[in-house]
Amino acid sequence: MSNSTSTQIQLVNRPTGWPSHDDFRTATIEYGDLEPGQVRVRNEFVSVDPYMRGRMNDTRSYVAPFALGETITGGAVGRVIESESGALPVGTPVLHQHGWSDVIQADAETFRPVPDIEGLPLSVHLHILGMTGLTAYVGLTAIAGMEEGDTVFVSGAAGAVGTAVGQIAKQLGASRVIGSAGSAKKVALLTKKYGYDEAFNYKEVNVREQLPVSAPDGVDVYFDNVGGDHLEAALDAMNDGGRIALCGAISGYNSTDRTPGPDNMANIITRGLKLEGFTLANYLHHAPAFREKMTKWFAEGKIAYDETVVDGIENTVDAFLDMMRGANTGKMLVRI
């Protein structure tokens, strides 16, 4: 038993537009002895995710805003280094939502043990086997009702969710999966590593002109991580009865203006389309089915992933901003 110092990143201002370093502070927390039922965890990886930008605003949402002056919460993985809980002995790898810190001390019930998988870092529980993989699975299945033979279009396809969506869609029998990404390198990865049948660089084409070329038979399911011009292009390309899962709208997250929506909303009526937004918190009951399928695909070598890793808790804000700018391929992580 001992005291411990923790470095944590806290939100101090609600950003308008792009967040800056002034919106955050680095706090040093001194933890005392563990109380009964508590554990102390040293994080190995901390997650930075697009949805966190929304939580920095004080707007109504399924997920409550981050509290000002408190540590940014979110996914992280680490190992128990001290324990007053029989359930989580020292050395146990755990997943939790305590967020942007190097060490965290709290009730054992707020941590979930995860398996050590041979040859893989614990970080896979933050993405392909964790929330980002589940987001991709829920969006394709529960929200968009993807069926075998569907043509699937994914925007922001080289991001953590997007790389999972393409691979899961192929495993579930999609006939054709098309992705957009923001660099030639990412586009190449989509087709060579992530099973996309076709991909394009949205910075070099007009998405509305390109999508019907990439999807000559139209799109049945659109998994939207971007919004804006991508959603507009998809509404033009959707087949009758098409389904759109709205997962993110990163193109507008840091906009201070109100951005006009698609100019072709009437297609929703004439083609009988369904658009549905979702926040994973309401779909966690799909996690067991997802884990069973994904663990099997993973073991069969059918699932690839990328990580973009930044070292040091003190660089978490930079990692978050780089991720929002699209600097990452696959999952953006901070390694402690």
Q: What is the DSSP letter of 140?
A: I
Q: How far is the CB of 275 from its own copies (least distance, A)?
A: 5
279 lines the binding site for its own copies (CB under 8 A): yes
Q: How far is the CB of 242 from its own copies (least distance, A)?
A: 10
Burial of 204 (0-12, 13-18, 19+ CB in 10 A): exposed
266 lines the binding site for its own copies (CB under 8 A): yes
Query: From the list 99, 179, 262, 330, which residue makes contact with its own copies (rule: CB under 8 A)?
Result: 262
Query: From the list 115, 149, 272, 312, which residue makes contact with its own copies (rule: CB under 8 A)?
Result: 272
β-pairing, 198-201 vs 176-181, is parallel
231 lines the binding site for its own copies (CB under 8 A): yes
Q: How far is the CB of 236 from its own copies (least distance, A)?
A: 10
Q: How far is the CB of 260 from its own copies (least distance, A)?
A: 3
Query: From the list 258, 285, 300, 301, which residue makes contact with its own copies (rule: CB under 8 A)?
Result: 258
Q: How far is CA 243 from CA 3, 110, 162, 221, in A?
A: 53, 36, 17, 5
Q: How far is the CB of 140 from its own copies (least distance, A)?
A: 16
DSSP, collapsed to helix, strand or coil, labels residue 306 as coil
Give the count of residues interacting with its own copies (CB under 8 A): 38
Query: From the list 12, 33, 62, 192, which residue makes contact with its own copies (rule: CB under 8 A)?
Result: 62
Q: How far is the CB of 283 from its own copies (least distance, A)?
A: 9
252 lines the binding site for its own copies (CB under 8 A): yes
Query: From the list 34, 46, 54, 123, which residue makes contact with its own copies (rule: CB under 8 A)?
Result: 54
CB neighbours of 118 closer than 8 A, spacing ≥ 6? none
Q: How far is the CB of 194 from its own copies (least distance, A)?
A: 24
Q: Report the residue number, 42 or 208, with the smaller CB distance to its own copies.
A: 208
Residue with tokens 């805003």: 65
Q: What is the DSSP string of 23-90?
A: GEEEEEEEE-SPPTTEEEEEEEEEE--THHHHHTS----SSPPPPTTSBPPB-EEEEEEEES-TTS-T
Torsion of CA 250, 256, 258, 263, to 10 degrees: -40
Q: Report the residue number, 274 or 335, with the smaller CB distance to its own copies.
A: 274
User: How many CB atoms neighbour CB 156 within 10 A?
Assistant: 29
Q: Report the residue number, 213 or 265, with the smaller CB distance to its own copies.
A: 265
Mark the segment that binds its own copies (CB under 8 A) among 21-29, 82-90, 118-126, 243-251: 243-251
Q: How far is CA 290 from CA 161, 268, 315, in A?
A: 14, 30, 32
Q: Which residues bind its own copies (CB under 8 A)?
A: 54, 59-63, 227, 231, 240-241, 246-249, 252, 258-279, 282
